Structure 1
Amino acid sequence: MEFEDTPAASEHQEEEVDFPIKHNDEAQSTLVVLSSTELCLGPIRPQLPMAMPMRLLQLLLCAGLLASCAEGEGHTGLPFGRAVREKYFQFEPGFRNFNHGGFGATPIPVRRAQEALITTAEAQPTRWFAGGNGSYHAALATVRPRLASLMGANESDLVFLDDASSGLNAVLRSLRWQPNDILLLTTAAYAVLPNTAQWLQRRYGIRTLHVEVHFPATGGETFLDPVREALEKLGGEASRLRLAVFDHVSSYPPAVLPVEALAKQVKEAAPSALVLLDGAHALGQVPISMTALATAGVDFYVTDGHKWLMAPKGSGALWARPSAQPLLEPAIISSDNAPGSSFQSRFDYIGTRDYTPWCAMGSTMDFRRDVLGGEDRIQSYVTGLARWAGRHMADRLGTETVAPDSMTPGMFALRLPLPEDWTPSQKTACSGLIAQGLIGQYSMQVISFALHTPTSDGREEVTHWIRVSAQVYLERSDFEDLTHAVMSLRDMDAAESTPIDAGAGKPERSMQKPPIIWLHVYDLGQMTAKLNTFMLRSMGIGAYHVGVEVLGDEWYFRWSDTAGRRNPWSICADSKFE
């Protein structure tokens, strides 16, 4: 990348114009929009059209900069990212959670609402459990229709659970299995499913059909083709297929599955088979329409509230089509939920326990609507951020993501940049050191895992990945920092050893690599980025902010007195290194 010196101010005969100062109290930063000379737009090229006088250019930039500072602001006036993280979440200082898909994170207002419910329960315990005004039953009566609306379901078909695992067990262990009945799972299924399948095999003598799916995914055919082939191979035994289970959004690796098409495949091959969707990662991350899923042939759907919806831990839901509801029993049969009672009665009371996580799902939906701006805005931001981050990190690290954008929700998996000439044991060790170093040295939480893929010559290739979640409390600069941390940890390990010598059998020390120096070029915001892309760049000019990173510290001029490595509203346009 080449840079030219900016001509001295005296070479520009444009009169300087005073522009307003915008002060953002929440972000604790001050933006002063100055003349084009002071903004260092670069040399004024001869091809600059006469129809674009400098003052008009200044006004356009001013509008773009002011809009950039305001963009992303929701009903709270706070932009998504660090401001939301610091105001509404209780992470320890400096911690960045790239594993939201693991255990979620409950916002402070939702936790306070749950604490108020606990106070109500303790104020009159009998009233809380027995029913009527002030009871958890009354609270659920207001939450259920809202949750049903969010899921595109009828409220009469929806019950509350502690989590998706409870729902999976409720379905799997309620069905009347016979010896040699078939349970279909994919190899992308979360561990609770094969574990429960083992229990069913020992208890009832069922068979489990594991359909191999291989990543990286290229599209829906990654799942549709192997499932179709497995169903065709069943032939006359298709009538023994009792249940097929698919993820709506898989966990390891993360991808959105073509669930409607998969359900149709099963029903066409085995009309009597039932279809269960594991939507643990779906609620709050991707749109759900139980009407459309039921039309496609889905019979049961389970989901978590504590993950992407950000409800308290211990909240989830189970949907069942009316004809399948009599088949189900909760894991706990207590005094008031005898078999044969109504679907919701069987699940709504399972003994003396804490029901406030279920009730607080209403406050969670309030927070998402009133503070964060609603489901469309949240999911658009989180999905867009994850897709951008996946592409950006893969490009910077020279690797790949596990699924295309069309299958990427609010989390993605990135292949770690490990040298090809390293032995399998070195790669495994380095992937572990990267994951440990991210949390230990950088206070960044990710999940690492390995993929085993058969090769054309009959061998098995093992690749190492990290799963990374986006969320409203993260922003692009967080993923920039994650990129640099991964590269630094990889290079640190690479500096310790060279590929193993076959004779010595041990890694040899090598000379330490020179440090990487990064030059970051930032757009000043989304609006200014559009001006740069669609107008200014064609003229050979642009408005940017740059920083130089050396040994983990970034140095730059900034319009603020506050500390911090990055402007909260900066958008990274490019990064180069030597």
Structure 2
Amino acid sequence: MPMVKPPEPVPGARLLFSLDPAVSHLNHGSFGAVPVPVQRAQQRLRDEMEANPVKFFAGGALDDRVTAARRHLATFVGLDPDGCAVVPNATTGVGIALGSVGLGRGDEILTTDHRYGAVAMAIERTCRETGAVAREVPIRLDATDNDVVAAVQTGITGRTRLVVLDQITSPTAQAMPVAAVHAALRGTGIPLLVDAAHAPGVISDPTPGEFWVGNLHKWAYAPRGTALLYVAPPWRDRVRSPIVSWREGEGFPGCLEYSGVTDPTAWLAAPVGAYVLRTLGLEQVRQHNATLAAYGQSVVGAALGVSPTDLPGSDGASGSAATPLPMRVVPLPAGTGATVDGATTLRRRIADELQTEVAINAWRGRGLLRLSANVYNRSDEYDRLADRLPPLLKAL
């Protein structure tokens, strides 16, 4: 199979970021990177806040400003602004949704083995506190959409009260058929919670399910600490904030958006990130990132001796996602990064010795190297990793 051809760089895009040029930043998917115009917009808001904190928080305008930002962000993502609330991150939104379903002893939460680690921990804690039970269905890396739907349907029992499904998986960088799963749940009375941490900026037409939560600070260039939680109309009266504030009796979404003196400048500056993305050209950015991630996967995979047919999501692998994704994974040699501690140690060694930031995830007893691509990346960064990673792994 011929090597994937890298895309042409987006003109001037690298200058939009203040990233250390001595480091190859190939892990945008973990914490994002905030463009300089967005950083400056947030700093101006911080300056305003510190010039007169009482006026900023209690002057009467903050409610309208947060509402305007929320409506802008929801429209950008493709969701109903009236059904959304701004929250700090996807994990917070998942916790709020779990607490809104009304789970009891013996009830079951169904998820897959591609779920994010912090979400798994949130589910486990909810089960400890309510007496509910977590059930996990395995899904192969090469699974088709029909396979995923069938696996979820097989996992449902008479006690299932909630299904949790990623829109784009974090450890395995796969797009899940959320719309098809939601359709399969129709008529069962079982709500769907969509963990869409990586969706904003990548997917234009998300399927929100009954609950949906997505980070804006990953692929939509918002400051960190900006996410949207969508709740379908029948469930909004059940939502409550995990933190009691003066908005306790206000209901959704106000009860979630105001908690003491939480710094709201990230939320207020977030629309500038969407503006930057649109200015660069949303579809151009998506295609560039997906093509560059595929190139990185192909060169690093070849360097590690991985067959193209064994690269998840590649053209040669079955079950490749129809959605162009800005992340790809490369299976590591057996026993390498196969535990949480081993994955953390390897990631740090790659950062320290190769000056390259990547993600390493232990999944099903196998280490997966996850590569991200964004407009500030260049193909030669993946080439260098391909040259230098094999000797490092041999020295382990």
1:311 aligned onto 2:230: no
What is the correspondence of 1:27-176 to structure 2 with a 5 Å cutoff? 72-73=9-10, 77-78=11-12, 80=13, 84=14, 87-132=15-60, 135-176=61-102
- Equivalents in 2 of 1:403, 1:425: separation in Å? 21
- Equivalents in 2 of 1:196, 1:220: separation in Å? 26
- Equivalents in 2 of 1:152, 1:111: separation in Å? 24
1:415 aligned onto 2:331: yes
Aligned residue for 2:172? Answer: 253
For structure 2, the 5+ residue unaligned runs are 1-7
Deviation at 1:254, TM superposition (A): 1.2
2:184 to 255, 262, 265: 265
1:275 to 164, 174, 192: 192
Aligned residue for 1:227? Answer: 152
Partner-residue secondary structure (3-state), 2:375: coil
What is the correspondence of 1:149-228 to structure 2 with a 5 Å cutoff? 149-215=75-141, 217-228=142-153
1:440 to 352, 356, 368: 352
Aligned residue for 1:397? Answer: 304
Q: Deviations over 1:316-357 (max 9, x none)?
A: 11111122111111221201x123x24222222122110111
Task: Write the letter of the residue equivalent to 1:377.
Answer: Q
Q: Does the 8 A contact of 2:337 with 2:362 survive in 1?
A: no
- Equivalents in 1 of 2:78, 2:336: separation in Å? 48
Aligned residue for 1:62? Answer: none
Q: Does the 8 A contact of 1:249 with 1:279 survive in 2?
A: yes
Deviation at 1:285, TM superposition (A): 2.5
**Pair 426,184 (structure 1): closer, same or farther in 2 beyond 3 Å:** closer
Aligned residue for 2:287? Answer: 380
- Equivalents in 2 of 1:218, 1:353: separation in Å? 42
**Pair 441,349 (structure 1): closer, same or farther in 2 beyond 3 Å:** same
- Equivalents in 1 of 2:166, 2:269: separation in Å? 26
Deviation at 1:491, TM superposition (A): 4.4
Deviation at 1:219, TM superposition (A): 2.7
**Pair 221,486 (structure 1): closer, same or farther in 2 beyond 3 Å:** farther
Aligned residue for 2:5? Answer: none
Aligned residue for 1:326? Answer: 237
Q: Does the 8 A contact of 2:110 with 2:155 survive in 1?
A: no
Deviation at 1:228, TM superposition (A): 2.3
Partner-residue secondary structure (3-state), 2:94: helix
Partner-residue secondary structure (3-state), 1:254: coil
* Alignment TM-score, normalising by the size of structure 1: 0.62
- Equivalents in 1 of 2:337, 2:76: separation in Å? 47
Q: Does the 8 A contact of 1:412 with 1:467 survive in 2?
A: yes
Q: Does the 8 A contact of 1:438 with 1:485 survive in 2?
A: no
- Equivalents in 2 of 1:309, 1:490: separation in Å? 34
Partner-residue secondary structure (3-state), 1:449: strand
- Equivalents in 2 of 1:426, 1:388: separation in Å? 22
Deviation at 1:480, TM superposition (A): 0.9
Deviation at 1:401, TM superposition (A): 2.0
Q: Deviations over 1:37-96 (max 9, x none)?
A: xxxxxxxxxxxxxxxxxxxxxxxxxxxxxxxxxx655xxx52x4xxx1xx2222234111
Aligned residue for 1:346? Answer: 255
- Equivalents in 1 of 2:165, 2:337: separation in Å? 34
Task: Write the letter of the residue equivalent to 1:409.
Answer: L
For structure 1, the 5+ residue unaligned runs are 1-70, 453-461, 494-578
Q: Does the 8 A contact of 1:285 with 1:409 survive in 2?
A: yes
Q: Does the 8 A contact of 1:157 with 1:321 survive in 2?
A: yes
Task: Write the letter of the residue equivalent to 1:359.
Answer: L
What is the correspondence of 1:539-550 to structure 2 with a 5 Å cutoff? none
Deviation at 1:430, TM superposition (A): 9.2
Q: Deviations over 1:351-391 (max 9, x none)?
A: 21101111111111122223xx2321211111121123223
Q: Percent identity?
A: 25
Determine which structure has greater relative contact order: mean sequence separation of CA pairs < 8 Å that are 6+ residues apart, divided by chain length: 2
Number of residue pairs aligned between Structure 1 and Structure 2? 380
Partner-residue secondary structure (3-state), 1:343: coil
Deviation at 1:253, TM superposition (A): 1.2
- Equivalents in 1 of 2:343, 2:72: separation in Å? 43
1:484 aligned onto 2:391: no
Aligned residue for 1:33? Answer: none
- Equivalents in 2 of 1:194, 1:435: separation in Å? 22
RMSD in angstroms over aligned alpha carbons?
A: 2.5
Q: Does the 8 A contact of 1:99 with 1:445 survive in 2?
A: yes
Q: Deviations over 1:374-422 (max 9, x none)?
A: 3212111111211232233323432132334542611111012x3x7xx
**Pair 491,376 (structure 1): closer, same or farther in 2 beyond 3 Å:** same
1:362 aligned onto 2:263: no
* Alignment TM-score, normalising by the size of structure 2: 0.88
Q: Does the 8 A contact of 2:337 with 2:366 survive in 1?
A: no
Runs of 4+ in 1 over 4 A off after TM superposition: 424-434
**Pair 436,314 (structure 1): closer, same or farther in 2 beyond 3 Å:** closer
Deviation at 1:432, TM superposition (A): 7.3
Aligned residue for 1:473? Answer: 376
Q: Does the 8 A contact of 1:136 with 1:356 survive in 2?
A: no
Q: Does the 8 A contact of 1:286 with 1:409 survive in 2?
A: no
Larger Cα Rg: Structure 1 or Structure 2? 1
Q: Deviations over 1:460-496 (max 9, x none)?
A: xx43321111111102111111111212323445xxx
- Equivalents in 2 of 1:173, 1:161: separation in Å? 15
- Equivalents in 1 of 2:287, 2:40: separation in Å? 27
- Equivalents in 1 of 2:143, 2:387: separation in Å? 27
- Equivalents in 1 of 2:374, 2:89: separation in Å? 20
Partner-residue secondary structure (3-state), 1:252: coil
- Equivalents in 1 of 2:338, 2:227: separation in Å? 38
